[in-house]
């Protein structure tokens, strides 16, 4: 029961963290691209 519960929590945390990480990465990448473009333009 203990490992089962741990697995369930890990499984739920996995997609949540993955989705959060993906979103954060996308936002950071977009921001970096914008900043780099502005820096290049300047």
**Helix H segments across 1-42?**
2-41
**Residue range 1-42, pLDDT digits in tens:** 556 666 655 555 555 555 555 555 555 555 556 555 555 555
DSSP type of residue 42: -
Please identify which residue in the block is written with the tokens 């914008």: 34
**Which pLDDT score is estimated for 1?**
56
**Which pLDDT score is estimated for 13?**
55
Distance of CA 23 to CAs 12, 13, 32, 38, 39, Å? 17, 15, 14, 23, 24
> H-helix or E-strand containing 1?
none
């Amino acid at each position: 029961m203990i490992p089962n519960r741990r697995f369930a929590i890990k499984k739920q945390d996995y997609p949540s963290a993955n989705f959060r990480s993906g979103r954060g990465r996308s936002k950071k990448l977009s921001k970096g691209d914008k900043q780099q473009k502005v820096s290049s333009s300047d």
